[in-house]
A and B are shown apart, each in its own frame.
Chain A
Amino acid sequence: MVEANAVYVIVMREFKKFIRERSRLFSTIARPLLWLFLVGGGMSRLVPRGDSVSYMQFIFPGILGMTILFSSIFSSISIIWDKEFGFMKEILVAPVSRFSVVIGKAISGMILSTTQAAIVLVLFPFLGLKLGIFQIIQIIIFCAVLSFAIAAFGILLATFYESYESFSVIMNFIVMPMFFLSGAMYPVKLLPDILKIFAKINPLTYGIDALKNVIFPFETGNMSPDFPLLTDVSVIIVSAIIFVLIAGKFFERKG
């Protein structure tokens, strides 16, 4: 059971807090720009062009994915802050289902991340990419679904941690590996077999691959998408549902 009022107010709270913390918006936009222009700009001198895309263009879907990854995880991890500072108790004693809380938090993550990804997306003409309105709409939709899935994954992580000391653990041992093994900076097909396994169980891989399918559908060779679009979309949707269900279940625990 999901209570609309509860979901609404949880989303509004995150939104208000986000708007008040302008530095957070700035840093979540700055990180992808650094990677895109400093890492991408440097690497593109080293990496030969594919038949239709440059390295900078190749990593653009990955940079969108990165924006979503960091922003969604950060949004969900706020649950740990809420636990630490006591606010979570206010939510837990309220007559709303744990499921509503999870959905509310996941939607918050989705809206905030998709907005930030959309801001980064505006850069596409500077990279020499040509996108039609239909492609842009598709990108936004896939970004939204991916954000929701990653936010739900973040909530699941947050249910296991009680204090914010764990934040750096999550960042270094979960978030960064997820980013590097997602096909964002290099194609999954070029990874060694052992790393390929990790890439293939990483939901972010499929989100970024979906964006590759939309942004450069006709690319062949090394920089081409790794999976069919239908596979990408199905995997993200299914993982979003699974993460929400499991997170809801873990939230329900009583001591």
Chain B
Amino acid sequence: MQIIKVDNLVKRFGNITAVDDISFEVEEGTIFGFLGPNGAGKTTTISILCTLLAPTSGRAYLNGHDCNTQSPEVRKSIGIVFQDSSLDKDLTARENLLFHAYLYNVEKSERMKRVEDALKFVDLYERADDLVKKFSGGMKRRLEVARGLIHRPKVLFLDEPTLGLDPQSRTNLWEFIIELPRKHNVTIFMTTHYMEEAEVCDKIAIIDKGKIIASGTPRELKKIIGGDIIYLKTDDNNKAMEDIRKLLDVEVSEKDGEIYLSSLKGDVCIPKIIREIGERVLSVRMQRPTLNDVFLKLTGKEIRPETATAEDTIKEAVRSYRRRHGRG
């Protein structure tokens, strides 16, 4: 079943088109990844799906409800972990979850149990009665995921869930996220600009400048690249290129003192080359295509993580300064 269906969605802010006529569908019980650089329109799309923004045109349906006109039904079906923390830092972990349970009208008999289960699930049971302001970034993010699941949503939105986390917390959070569809019977809709994170998705849509430029499983997307890339260093590159062209009838190029060629089956191709010109080869390496290569090929640029403009950096610094000093 299609749990999310988006048809020709457009969102303009003044004369800036943040989301430019996108359409996609998400299968229930899967992990769907929205991959793209900052400012590509990922968060805007999530905001429309979460009923926080009205689209300029087009439609979005979630669990069969129109995200623009049936907000209450949509809101009941979704849980969200925003890019910036939306916890109340002056309340304890337990209080934050209880607040959520009341807000989503979880039945009285269920409330306490669900909160306790959620705390155990994200391994924060021991810290349940500590104020959230004492938590680390990873703990806060886990608590937010737990909170998003309290009311048993159909879809859990994760907007850049690992942004700003250290590598270890990131890995932990991931191990935990990929379990969610099976354990909680929930569909995951996530955005990220980390390629390696997108690899775990069942399906990915690559978005750039408000448009979806490719979509499919990670494997399908990598086929766009045309297979593995083999790099060779030889004592005479020109001669080696000539020989390989004759041998395999493929395109061979040279870059930075290495010759490279692409092949659908790199692991079979390498022995062939070695048998022919083996004594002249100085080194061999093979690269499997990554989503980064896909993005590079499609847009001609790389997704650089943490591409913040100078202005963003200053804004964030000012904000965190204020937060630290708790100034009102």
Residues of A within 8 A of B (CB): 3, 5-6, 8-9, 13, 16-17, 20-21, 81, 85-96, 164, 167, 254-255
Contact = CB atoms under 8 A, between A and B. Distances in A.
Contacts of A95: 72-73, 75-76, 104-105
Interface string B83-117: 01111111100010011101111000000000000
Interface stretch (B50-58, B211-219, B227-235, B263-271): B50-58
Contacts of A255: 47, 52-54
B135 interface: no
A21 B133 CA distance: 14
B52 A94 contact: no
Nearest to B71: A95
Given A9-B99, A89-B52, A89-B86, 9 more contacts: A5-B105, A6-B105, A8-B102, A9-B102, A86-B84, A90-B86, A90-B99, A95-B104, A254-B54
A87 B102 contact: no
A255 B47 CA distance: 10
Interface in B45-74: 47, 50-54, 72-73
Contact of B328 (A90, A91, A93, A167): A167
B75 A3 contact: no
Contacts of B328: 81, 164, 167
B78 interface: yes
A20 B129 CA distance: 14
A8 B108 CA distance: 13
B86 A9 contact: no
A13 B47 CA distance: 26
Nearest to A85: B89
Contacts of B102: 5-6, 8-9
B125 interface: no
Interface in B8-56: 47, 50-54
Contacts of B88: 13, 17, 85, 87, 90
Nearest to A92: B52
24 contacts: A5-B102, A6-B103, A9-B98, A9-B103, A13-B95, A16-B95, A17-B90, A20-B90, A81-B328, A86-B84, A90-B87, A90-B88, A90-B99, A93-B51, A93-B80, A94-B75, A95-B72, A95-B104, A96-B103, A167-B328, A254-B52, A254-B53, A254-B54, A255-B52
B124 to A, nearest CB: 17
Contacts of A254: 51-54
A8 B101 CA distance: 12
Q: Which 3 A-B pairs have the closest CB atoms?
A: A9-B102, A95-B75, A86-B86
Contacts of A92: 52
Nearest to B108: A5
A252 B263 CA distance: 56
A93 B54 contact: no
A114 to B, nearest CB: 23
Nearest to A1: B72
A17 B91 contact: yes
Contacts of A3: 105
Contacts of B53: 254-255
Contacts of B90: 17, 20-21
Contacts of B50: 93
Nearest to B98: A9
Nearest to A81: B328
B220 to A, nearest CB: 32
Nearest to A80: B328
Given A6-B103, A13-B99, A95-B76, A87 B86 contact: yes
A92 B84 CA distance: 15
Given A5-B105, A164-B328, A254-B53, A93 B99 contact: no
Contacts of A91: 103
A3 B50 CA distance: 20
A90 B52 contact: no
Contacts of A21: 90
Contacts of A85: 85, 88-89, 323
Contacts of B52: 89, 92-93, 254-255
B87 A87 contact: yes
A90 B52 CA distance: 11
Contacts of B86: 86-90
Nearest to A90: B86
B94 to A, nearest CB: 12
Nearest to B72: A95
Contacts of A8: 102
For B50, B90, B102, B323, the residue with the greatest tally of chain A CB atoms inside 10 Å of its CB is B102
A3 B72 CA distance: 12
A16 B76 contact: no
A252 to B, nearest CB: 10
A93 B104 contact: no
A93 B51 CA distance: 7
A94 B103 contact: yes
